[in-house]
Amino acid sequence: MTAPQASSRPLVEAPIYRRKNCRLCAGKRLDLVLKLCPTPLEDDYRKADRLAPQKSYPLDLACCADCGHVFLLDVVDAGKIYSEYLYVTQTSLGLGEHYDRYAASVIGKLGLPAGCFMVEFGSNDGTMLRAFQKRGLKVLGVDPAAPIAKAATEAGTETVADFFTAALARRIKAERGPAALIAANMVFANIDNLDDIAAALVELLADDGVFVCETGYLLDNIKNLVFDNIYHEHLAYHSVKPLAAFFARHGLELFDAEAVDSKGGSVRFFVQRKGANRPVEPSVAAFIAREDAAGIHAAAPYVELARKLDETRARLHDLLGGFKRQGKKIAGFGASHSVTTLAHHFKLPPFLEFIVDDNPRKQDTFMPGYHIPVFHPKALLERKADYAVILPWRFSGPIRERHAEFARAGGRFIDVLPTVEVL
């Protein structure tokens, strides 16, 4: 990769505003519970011809004192985030298999017949929809990233390049009829106007239709130290108690919830029209009881999380600083959304000479903000790295297994969480 050159064309920074009320209940009693290091947009890995100083945006987490919803105070314009979106589902380790199991489970649980109509919003490249499609459902994707939506359609999974809104839901219903199933996976946390999403669900769901959503689960994320899941694309950090109240206010009913171990701890919840034919399962009350016992709708757990992160940063600086003083060459492994949060908050870039990643879309780009170059993983051997810090730490095992040649050549991997460890 050539040395970075400043782009001659202007780069427009994203519009941003700071919320004054809760996204779920509109309450105005907001408590600041966690401040992470500000970062540029997390997936804004740029080519050499587009490099210029990138603006950083706050990562301030608030908790609503009225309903307990936890969310980022600062909202970056969605159009800026998704207009040149790089992430595609199929690049994530294990997600294809996860969605295959997901489809089988949901179809069996809800008794969905072949030929029924399903819509997924935030469908990305259609990986999850294809799992339902191959089981006989008629599917339609909705995703605002036009190039990704076009590629999904060309690959056989029709996708509308747009945001999911009440207006679009009315159009879909007029053209195709109501949906037996609406799905959202790892996207419900990304939407600022959830009132409009609820209105869209009311518009499009069949009378006995179900909305199924999988999203990061706040309680597990705190317990498992998944702080790097906090970034500008993720506006909300959901738990069952505030969500159940939110849906009830819109004439809907959260009737079941399941724990899912993906993404460091997630929840899959099921919503129907209020008074529809499915009973509210005991799982809902059980989730809420655990949340209340853990106190996640108040400040205390976040104070403890901040303390643990400060300790981890200090240990990393001691370890990596020692290696640097010995003249060792240190690389980073991973160039994902979460890596931007982790690297900036732990202030790791001064220790890293370069980064490698398996995703071809990220290779030959530069990390947001610090502009560290990202290469193919073969650079670990070609550039004679002594250590590789595994930045997407929850995938440490698969990364080490896939790139065992680095270890066989004498290189050492370093874990950053849940403990700092040279492997």
* pLDDT one-digit tens code per residue, 121-171: 999 999 999 999 999 999 999 998 888 899 999 999 999 999 999 999 999
Mean pLDDT of 272-293: 96
Question: The domain containing residue 227 runs over which residues?
Answer: 89-298
Residue 252 belongs to a domain: yes
Residues 199 and 101 occupy one common structural domain: yes
| Pair 352, 389: CB distance under 8 Å | yes
CA atoms within 13 A on the CB side of 42: 25
Tens-digit pLDDT profile for residues 116-135: 999 999 999 999 999 999 99
Mean pLDDT of 367-392: 97
CATH number of the domain residue 355 falls in: 3.40.50.720
Q: Letter for the amino acid at 319?
A: L
CB atoms within 10 A of CB 299: 15
What pLDDT is attached to residue 9? 32
Residues 266 and 390 occupy one common structural domain: no
What pLDDT is attached to residue 94? 55
Residue 55 belongs to a domain: yes
Residues 97 and 200 occupy one common structural domain: yes
Residues 350 and 382 occupy one common structural domain: yes
pTM for the model stands at 0.88
Using the predicted structure, report yes or no on whether residue 365 has a pLDDT greater than 60.
yes
What span, in angstroms and rounded, lies between the C-alpha atoms of 130 and 211?
18
Residues 70 and 215 occupy one common structural domain: no
- DSSP-based three-state secondary structure for 206: strand
Mean pLDDT of 248-275: 93
Using the predicted structure, report yes or no on whether residue 4 has a pLDDT greater than 50.
no
CATH number of the domain residue 161 falls in: 3.40.50.150
Q: Is the dihedral of CA 399, 401, 125, 96 positive or negative?
A: negative
Query: What confidence category does residue 6 fall into, taking pLDDT thresholds of 50, 70 and 90?
Result: very low
Using the predicted structure, report yes or no on whether residue 195 has a pLDDT greater than 70.
yes
Tens-digit pLDDT profile for residues 400-418: 999 999 999 999 999 999 9
Residue 167 belongs to a domain: yes
What pLDDT is attached to residue 52? 87
What span, in angstroms and rounded, lies between the C-alpha atoms of 308 and 326?
28
Residue 130: in which H helix or E strand, if any? helix 127-133
Using the predicted structure, report yes or no on whether residue 35 has a pLDDT greater than 70.
yes
Residues 133 and 238 occupy one common structural domain: yes
Query: Domain tally for the chain?
Result: 3
What pLDDT is attached to residue 16? 87
Using the predicted structure, report yes or no on whether residue 247 has a pLDDT greater than 60.
yes
Mean pLDDT of 3-28: 68
Query: What confidence category does residue 98 fall into, taking pLDDT thresholds of 50, 70 and 90?
Result: confident
CA atoms within 13 A on the CB side of 180: 15
Show Cβ contacts of residue 88 under 8 Å, excluding neighbours closer than 6 positions: 124, 125, 148, 361
Using the predicted structure, report yes or no on whether residue 13 has a pLDDT greater than 70.
no
What pLDDT is attached to residue 420? 97
What span, in angstroms and rounded, lies between the C-alpha atoms of 211 and 119?
10
Residue 6 belongs to a domain: no
What pLDDT is attached to residue 8? 29
Mean pLDDT of 260-289: 93
| Pair 358, 339: CB distance under 8 Å | no
What pLDDT is attached to residue 50? 84
Q: How wide is the angle at C-alpha 296 spanned by C-alphas 295 and 302, nearest 5°?
A: 105
Residues 262 and 116 occupy one common structural domain: yes
Q: How wide is the angle at C-alpha 241 spanned by C-alphas 235 and 246, nearest 5°?
A: 65
SS (H, E, C) 351-380: HCCEEECCCCCCCCEECCCCCCEEECCCHH
Using the predicted structure, report yes or no on whether residue 80 has a pLDDT greater than 70.
no
* Percent of the chain's residues with pLDDT above 90: 84
Using the predicted structure, report yes or no on whether residue 108 has a pLDDT greater than 70.
yes
